[in-house]
Amino acid sequence: MKLVMAIIKPFKLDDVREGLSEIGVQGITVTEVKGFGRQKGHTELYRGAEYVVDFLPKVKIEAVVADDLVEQVIEGIQKSAHSGKIGDGKIFVSSIDQAVRIRTGESGNEAL
């Protein structure tokens, strides 16, 4: 099992969700996050005083998937979250030791 974690632009969330459903991903967890990368921040203005917003809002998606699905999931996210402009985000993949469905006690790929 692999954990696919992707940081994407918030407005791409619906596209990514649909893309992953089509591939057969059964569930994802979404978090609103803030951070910076190469895009850096931007300046805002309040009562004549400029200030820099260092951390931009992004959406973090986490999906635990079976090993044979990982390449498709990565490709799917990259395609659906892609706008071609700076700040599109990143995808990280790591291994997962165990997964258990709380309701039934199923474990491993069965629990995903």
Partner 1 sequence: MENHIFELQYAIDTFYFLVMGALVMWMAAGFAMLEAGLVRSKNTTEILTKNVVLFAIACTAYLVVGYDIMYDGGVFLKDIALDGAANADALTATVLAESAKAGFGGDSVYSNASDFFFQVVFVATAMSIVSGAVAERMKLWAFVLFAIVMTAFIYPMEGNWTWGGGSVFGMYNLGDLGFSDFAGSGIVHMAGAAAALAGVLLLGARKGKYGPNGEVNAIPGANLPLATLGTFILWMGWFGFNGGSVLKLGDIANSNAVAMVFLNTNAAAAGGVIAALVIARVLFGKADLTMALNGALAGLVAITAGPDTPSPLAATLIGAVGGAIVVFSILTLDKMKIDDPVGAISVHGVVGIWGLLAVPLTNDGATFSGQIAGGLTIFVWVFGASFITWYVIKLIMGIRVSEEEEFEGTDLSECGMEAYPEFTGSRGSGL
Q: Is 40 helix (H, G, I), strand (E, B) or coil?
A: coil
Residues of this chain that interact with partner 1 (CB under 8 A) are 44-51
Q: Which is nearer to partner 1, 48 or 105 (CB)?
A: 48
Other C-beta atoms lying within 10 Å of the C-beta of residue 12: 21
Q: Which is nearer to partner 1, 45 or 86 (CB)?
A: 45
Q: Is 41 helix (H, G, I), strand (E, B) or coil?
A: coil
Least distance (Å) between residue 39 CB and partner 1: 21
Cα–Cα distance list, 14 to 11, 42, 81, 93, 97 (Å) = 7, 25, 9, 21, 29
Least distance (Å) between residue 74 CB and partner 1: 33
Least distance (Å) between residue 51 CB and partner 1: 4
Q: Which is nearer to partner 1, 36 or 51 (CB)?
A: 51
